[in-house]
Structure 1
Amino acid sequence: MGTYRHLMIYFCCVSIVFSILDIIVQPNVQTYKSAFFMVVEVQRRNMDPWIAKVSVYCLCGCFGVAHYCIAIHFIYRFFALERKGRVRYFQGFNLIIWFLIPIFSGAMWFLITAEVFTQTSIEIDYIRNIVKQTFSADMHEIVFVSGIFYPIDQTVLMTIPFTVIIVFGFRSWKIVRGLLDHGESEYSKNLQMQLYKALVAQNFQTYKSAYILVVEVKRRNMDPWIAKGSIYCICGCFGVVIYCIAIHFIYRLFALERKGRVRYFQGNNLIIWFLIPIVCGAAWLLITSEVYTQTKIEADYIRNSVKQTFNSDMEDIVFISGIFYPIDKTGLRIFNWRTFLGFGLFSILMTIPFTVIIVFGFRSWKIVRGLLDHGESEYSKNLQMQLYKALVAQTVLPMIFLFIPFGLLFSLPMFEIDCQLLSSFITLTFAMYPAVDPLPILYFIDYYRNPIIGLELLRKTDYTMCETLTDAFKLKCCKRSRISNDESITIG
């Protein structure tokens, strides 16, 4: 066994210490809104508060030691499998250095826990109610460490997003008011305002095992059928958008391959490609309208949440909801097969474009990566690198703005995990994606970036300026290595 024996003994000792501290502390790790915290009930267990606090710090430190030990374990195992003699780095005095690395990281965990996650009045007031509800204990009866991302103080709360909402909401209102002046009739003006409200006033919510989309019709003087139709349409539009993105990636791969397969996007074939997102959007619309219905069970399940969040009765709203485990008339939790069916169908519809984006994005990345090694000139290599960066960014963006948020929103309520913070931004991320998607192209590609920011960083060896007055603003490309085929570069 050699050196590996010493590593295993060291790791076992760390695990023993970690287990002993876990028995002493018996930590309760909780989350509440934007806070995570660890609680030790000192009064109930008749424990000195300073012992409990130090034990919590040591437990966190041991966690830091443990996962660095695991990492070093993998390093040693890799060196041993390589058989290149690098196991010698774990012998003699070097072994002591490897042993010190986890201890140092554990000390960092200890210090961060002790110095950063302190017990101030803000933290105490923030978690007071949840501690009382969960442990039936007052704050002086416990010792805790907590991290609160958005505590509540007595001054200004979230000034930046509030200002953004006010400013851009007012500007949007002015634009819509201007559009209303061009309505052909009073009915047309009223219809435009109702549609506008329906599109901007939707609220995604989660509550226990439910996810909900709510429109307050009474407060906004909106016809319920318009609100419901708008909800169905916006769900259908989401299905259209994600399949459009997937088709975009297919076309880009065909263009980069240079095998003539771009012809599949020409003529009548283009109509078929256009119909695919429409059909998938129609499927989203039908699933939303037929599977997620408004029955008395759904209404009773979310009634309290709607009252607390919107201060509205169920008769004042229009909603669609998916509830995995509703409560029946006898007060028992039941299995809602309709929600699971809808979740399964939505998962299938999202998995197809997600897989297309991953597979075709990866294959495009491999092609562009290969082109970097075969550039005929510095100009060609630089251009391919710009395309490579833009491609990577445009592959990541739909994951961040569409697939991950909506995937979590649909799946977390199944396990009754609170994702209210995520649901608050879900409409915003969906609306932002079309505006954010072109930014990688505009930023990474010099041809677009330079005119936008007002710079003319064009190399003299690549371009010459025409001397005639009529062509003063035209640039003539004089580079000998020129890409003549319009399929050589295709950018979304």
Structure 2
Amino acid sequence: MFLIIRKSPKQLGSYKYLMIYMSCFESIYSIIDFIVSPIMFSYESIMVVMIYKNNSIFFSDWVLLILNGVYCAFFGASMGMFGIQFIYRYFVSTGSKHLKTFNGFRIFFWILIPIFVGSIWGSICYFILSPSDEINQRINNQLMLTFGWEIQEITYVGAYFYQLQPDGSYKIGWNSVIGVTIAWIIILSSLCVIFYFGIKCYLNLRQVMRIKQQQNNSSRNFKNLQSQLFNALVTQTTIPVILMHFPLSTVILFTFLDKDLGTLSGVSSITIALFPALDPLPSMFIIQNYRKFIFGFFKITKVKSIKIPLN
């Protein structure tokens, strides 16, 4: 945030506010992740995001359930974040008249989209995928075998696709199917927006770079900045795809196929926690102004730390 506020190039425009918004979002996300300390676990056709009460500063079930819902809401909000950045980059690269929607008070329309998406995701987890007796009975023994925990020691949100009945038959858990389907729609919509506008932006930038000596230095500098921002954005989006989309999608897919991953599903909790820490790095080291300041800062620090021997 210091780099964005103090070291951003003037041509960055309104994108600076989106970057600050993203930085604030990731900072709060990290704090919530630290407080909640979620653990993802799957067993047969059950997947849960659970909180071990003894590791939390909160002991009330309803408080922990709300915090779990808020954590899930932030995950959902991140799905909307990535698409907006690509849309903005595309508008800038094409000089679209819609770019003015990112100026003034109208930028709040774009800022509200992740909040809206996150609210949907959080509501699904809190109201549709809330704890149930069916899940409690099915995973109680497995929790003891895997973690040594009783079901009363955790709070969770989760899905149970194929519910085992007393007579040995199975019943489809429609609440779980509906909730996870909505989540899948959000994930796929985010990816479609990213790839659609990302490819169009790339093709447009490549065409711009082919233009010969007809631009002045200011124009070329502007195009170079847009190219830097786009490269940073591509890298910045690859990180959540690898750390967030892919692990969660894998757990959901295996659970839907009634193939549990056991403790391996917990890897996704770790990768998702890494996202806020790694996501800012591409912008910090690809955008020239930021990179120069960082390298210059450490160079100065290194020089100052040298001790000159006295004779």
Q: TM-score by structure 1 length? A: 0.49
* Residues 1:205 and 2:77 aligned together: no
Counterpart in 1 of 2:158?
321
> Is the Cα contact below 8 Å between 1:198 and 1:215 reproduced in 2?
no
Percent identity of equivalent pairs: 25
Report the 3-state secondary structure (helix = DSSP H, G, I; strand = E; otherwise coil) of the residue aligned with 2:172.
coil
* Residues 1:407 and 2:243 aligned together: no
Counterpart in 2 of 1:449?
291
Q: Alpha-carbon deviation of 1:293?
A: 2.8
Q: Alpha-carbon deviation of 1:444?
A: 2.6
* Residues 1:352 and 2:189 aligned together: yes
Give the Cα separation in 1 of the matches to 2:156 and 2:98: 45
Counterpart in 1 of 2:211?
374
Pick the aligned partner of 2:51 from 198, 206, 215.
215
Following superposition of structure 1 onto structure 2, how do residues 94-173 of structure 1 map, counting pairs within 5 Å?
A: none
Residues 378 and 428 of structure 1, relative CA distance in 2, 3 Å threshold: farther
* Residues 1:392 and 2:234 aligned together: yes
Residues 387 and 226 of structure 1, relative CA distance in 2, 3 Å threshold: closer
Residues 326 and 262 of structure 1, relative CA distance in 2, 3 Å threshold: same
Counterpart in 1 of 2:18?
none
In the alignment, residue 452 of structure 1 is paired with which amino acid? I
Runs of 4+ in 1 over 6 A off after TM superposition: 195-198
Unaligned runs of 5+ in 2: 1-30, 299-311
Residues 435 and 337 of structure 1, relative CA distance in 2, 3 Å threshold: same
Q: Alpha-carbon deviation of 1:320?
A: 1.6
Q: Alpha-carbon deviation of 1:451?
A: 2.4
Give the Cα separation in 2 of the matches to 1:205 and 1:280: 24
Higher normalized helix content (fraction of residues): 2
Counterpart in 1 of 2:168?
331
Residues 365 and 434 of structure 1, relative CA distance in 2, 3 Å threshold: farther
Q: Alpha-carbon deviation of 1:238?
A: 1.1
Q: Alpha-carbon deviation of 1:421?
A: 5.7
* Residues 1:250 and 2:87 aligned together: yes
> Is the Cα contact below 8 Å between 2:48 and 2:156 reproduced in 1?
yes
Pick the aligned partner of 1:416 from 258, 263, 276.
258
Q: Alpha-carbon deviation of 1:321?
A: 1.6
Report the 3-state secondary structure (helix = DSSP H, G, I; strand = E; otherwise coil) of the residue aligned with 2:155.
strand
Report the 3-state secondary structure (helix = DSSP H, G, I; strand = E; otherwise coil) of the residue aligned with 2:49.
strand
Residues 438 and 217 of structure 1, relative CA distance in 2, 3 Å threshold: closer
Counterpart in 1 of 2:109?
272
> Is the Cα contact below 8 Å between 1:307 and 1:313 reproduced in 2?
yes
Unaligned runs of 5+ in 1: 1-194, 457-492
Q: Alpha-carbon deviation of 1:206?
A: 1.0
Counterpart in 2 of 1:260?
97
Q: Alpha-carbon deviation of 1:253?
A: 1.1
Residues 394 and 294 of structure 1, relative CA distance in 2, 3 Å threshold: closer
Please say which of residues 408-417 and 392-401 is displaced more in the overlay.
392-401
Give the Cα separation in 1 of the matches to 2:232 and 2:206: 12
Report the 3-state secondary structure (helix = DSSP H, G, I; strand = E; otherwise coil) of the residue aligned with 1:374.
coil
> Is the Cα contact below 8 Å between 1:368 and 1:387 reproduced in 2?
no
The number of aligned residues is: 262
* Residues 1:297 and 2:134 aligned together: yes
Give the Cα separation in 1 of the matches to 2:103 and 2:195: 24
Give the Cα separation in 1 of the matches to 2:47 and 2:53: 19
Q: Alpha-carbon deviation of 1:359?
A: 0.8
Residues 388 and 373 of structure 1, relative CA distance in 2, 3 Å threshold: farther
> Is the Cα contact below 8 Å between 2:77 and 2:118 reproduced in 1?
yes
Residues 455 and 237 of structure 1, relative CA distance in 2, 3 Å threshold: closer
Q: Alpha-carbon deviation of 1:205?
A: 0.6
Structure with bigger gyration radius: 1
Counterpart in 2 of 1:383?
224
Give the Cα separation in 2 of the matches to 1:344 and 1:443: 37
RMSD: 2.8
What per-residue deviation string (whole Å, max 9, x for no partner) do you get for residues 249-306 of structure 1?
1111111111332101223422222222212111112111221132221111111221
